[in-house]
Amino acid sequence: MKTAKILWISGSILINVVIFFYVKIMSQVPAGTHAVRYGYINENWSQFETMWKAEMIVMSLLTISAIFFAIKYKSIAWSIVAFGQLVLITLYPIMIGGYHDTSVEVYTMAYQMSVLIFVFGKILFLAGMILVYLTDSILQKWLRIVASVLALVGLISFTASYLGFIGWKQALKSAIALNLLYLINAYHGFKMELDDEMHN
């Protein structure tokens, strides 16, 4: 149990580091056609590959711990979080395998698949986190409310993207809310560990 909590805390903190580097690297990708973007990514493949492999490791930490919590607590909320994480994990082999040294057509297909997987995975993850905090008894009430609101902001944004009302890049404008949510998630994992120690 302690290992799962450490993985959850570590993943929730490190994902913010990954997001920082993602924003920094992706902001340098030139706007334009898929061919233009494909060319730039391949010219700078080492940094993109490193970033996505690191992100896959961090997401694996969150996935493993969420699966453990779902089983441990027999919780539908954690089950939704875990399933969302499992969906998100499938994103990285598609990008790493489909973006490099292929063709623009393959890149375009991989890109469209990765966007759909990312958006849908985030919807599941955020919906699950809302349920986790609505039923949580560890954090203070005000902090549970803040976490639920942050997750709801992200959920609305990504659902709007999934339904085609906005683009997925517009949905990413909720990134600040997600960053704060991940920090609360890390604190929640820390409090879970303290709560267990108090009852031992």
CA distance 9 to 13: 6
Backbone angles phi, psi at 90, to 5 degrees: -70, -15
Q: Which of 96, 94, 87 is nearest to 112 (CA)?
A: 94
The per-residue pLDDT for range 93-124, each reduced to its tens digit, is 999 999 998 999 999 999 999 999 999 999 99
Position 190: which residue type?
F
CA distance 121 to 127: 10
What is the residue whose two structure tokens read 């233009």? 36
pLDDT of residue 176: 87
pLDDT of residue 26: 81
Q: Which segment of 17-31, 77-91, 96-110 scores lowest on mean pLDDT? A: 17-31
Average pLDDT over every residue of 18-43 = 87
Average pLDDT over every residue of 59-75 = 96
User: Of residues 22 and 48, which shows the higher confidence score?
Assistant: 48
CA distance 166 to 51: 26
CA distance 61 to 11: 5
pLDDT of residue 131: 97
* 11: containing domain: 2-198
What is the share, in percent, of the chain residues with pLDDT greater than 70?
Answer: 96
Q: What is the mean pLDDT of the chain?
A: 92
What is the distance in angstroms between the CA of the first residue and the CA of the last residue of the chain? 13
Count of structural domains, the chain: 1
Helix (H) or strand (E) holding 5: helix 2-26
CA distance 190 to 194: 6
What is the residue whose two structure tokens read 């919807």? 123
Average pLDDT over every residue of 137-151 = 96
pLDDT of residue 197: 55
CA distance 199 to 136: 17
Residue 182 pLDDT exceeds 90? yes
How large is the angle between the packed helices 141-162 and 104-134, nearest 10 degrees? 150
pLDDT of residue 195: 63
pLDDT of residue 22: 82
Residue 193 pLDDT exceeds 80? no
Position 136: which residue type?
D
